[in-house]
Amino acid sequence: MKTLADLLAEGVSGRRVLVRADLNVPLDGETITDDGRVRASLPTLQQLTAAGARVVVAAHLGRPKGEPDPKFSLKPVAKRLGELLGSEVKLAADVTGESAKATVESLADGEVALLENIRFDARETSKDEAARGALADELAAFADAFVSDGFGVVHRKQASVYDVAKRLPRYAGGLVLAEVEVLRKLTDDTDRPYVVVLGGAKVSDKLGVIANLLTKVDRLLIGGGMAYTFLKAQGHEVGQSLLQADQLDQVKGFLDEAAKRGVDLVLPVDVLAATEFAPDAPHEVVAADAIPADRQGLDIGPESRELFASKLADAATVFWNGPMGVFEFEAFSGGTRAVAQALVDGKSFSVVGGGDSAAAVRQLGLPEDGFSHISTGGGASLEFLEGKELPGVQVLED
């Protein structure tokens, strides 16, 4: 796999370099509420501009339906990226159209242009290889080399991730290299005890990764909305809590497999049971096996927080993906904070698996350097740990 260092050694002054970045940030209107992914893209862009490259950035935002949608414009991202780089980032008004061509042509050495949201073009995510290839041809015409630096999308076989890499000299950016190196530490010869903490809303999002991790970990801690399907599978009342009834048989299988393999599968012993899903909802602490029929669990309780922290205290390696409760509501953020604090206080090699977990770390004001690594790619991290091949990485290795 050729890397950014190889490209820089070859020389990039005056050359156009297409960078696939992951700038998919959360927005409130036009305000970026967490710029972590923008900041993570900086090192690669700074190295290229310092070396005199003319940098063309492709990225997506949200899930537009293959056509322009003002609420998914990259305009706020271009503004923030320019602030962080200390120089203007030119934003094209389209993906590969006349504005994009003119914007790319106008670049001087050391300047950066951002193409408009790549998913405004339906060919980006098309299942039709020829359609994706046509878009990749147009993107490739903008550059002399391609740098893959958007780890959050390398699990997608998309035009700007996979197909364009087949059409240009291709290199792995620093972010992709760092992410893959970290995740390999979680799958190859991992230091033990190895503990994984999973949260978030749905068990169905993590079926593959749970099945694979049960063959590798010493402890598996389950919180968040997905915990209630596990509790129900054990025969407990979960009231109005989030429940995936169609996954109960699968989850019973996980419980049996954990017991057979000697994996310590840890569930909440108490929860904060609220009258409704709202930030100011009245709530009380109840035993996890006795949630009232008219209540819903919105966070793990104080005993569960202590239990989870104790299970993390002696860990050598920890992977954490998914909040323990509705951390966006202050009243129900304590469980997520407790897990995060346990990792900060511990001595483990700790990896925060992107997505809501990374957002929670920043929203709760915890020190980012208190963790060994905060991933920029939730889905990509999970698929790697599931044992799947990541197309955007595989194409760099070919």
Q: CA angle at residue 356 from 389 to 281, to 5 degrees?
A: 145
355 catalytic residue (yes or no): yes
Q: Which of 355, 377, 378, 392 is catalytic?
A: 355
Q: Name the binding residues for ATP.
A: 206, 297, 328, 354-357
Distances (CA, A) of 358 to 34, 62, 84, 131, 288: 9, 17, 20, 34, 27
> Could you tell me if residue 311 is left (phi over 0), alpha (psi between -120 and 50 degrees) or otherwise beta?
alpha
Q: Output phi, psi for 355, to 5 deg.
A: 55, -135
Q: Output phi, psi for 132, to 5 deg.
A: -60, -40
**Cα 285–chain centre separation:** 31
CA–CA separation, 84 and 57 (whole Å): 15
Q: Output phi, psi for 307, to 5 deg.
A: -60, -50
Q: Which of 202, 216, 252, 362 is catalytic?
A: 202
| Partners of 321 in the β-ladder | 198
Q: What tokens were used for 244?
A: 């995936």
37 catalytic residue (yes or no): yes
Distances (CA, A) of 67 to 73, 158, 200, 274, 398: 11, 16, 30, 40, 32
Q: What tokens were used for 315?
A: 């860990």
CA–CA separation, 23 and 135 (whole Å): 20
Q: Which of 15, 16, 20, 37 is catalytic?
A: 37
Q: Side chain identity at 160, as an amino acid letter?
A: S
User: Is the Cβ–Cβ distance between 293 and 237 less than 8 Å?
Assistant: yes
User: Is the Cβ–Cβ distance between 277 and 228 less than 8 Å?
Assistant: no
Residues 6 or more apart whose CB falls under 8 angstroms from that of 374 comprise 36, 351, 352, 354, 358, 361, 368
Q: Name the binding residues for (2R)-3-phosphoglycerate.
A: 37, 119, 156
Strands 270-274 and 296-300: antiparallel
DSSP code of residue 87: S
Q: Side chain identity at 76, as an amino acid letter?
A: P
Find, among 147, 186, 204, 155, the residue nearest to 353 by Cα.
Answer: 186
Q: Name the binding residues.
A: 22-24, 37, 60-63, 119, 156, 206, 297, 328, 354-357
Find, among 395, 3, 40, the residue nearest to 172 by Cα.
Answer: 3
Q: Which of 82, 110, 208, 379 is catalytic?
A: 379
Q: Name the binding residues for substrate.
A: 22-24, 37, 60-63, 119, 156
User: Is the Cβ–Cβ distance between 346 and 315 less than 8 Å?
Assistant: yes
Give catalytic residues, as residue numbers. Answer: 37, 202, 355, 379
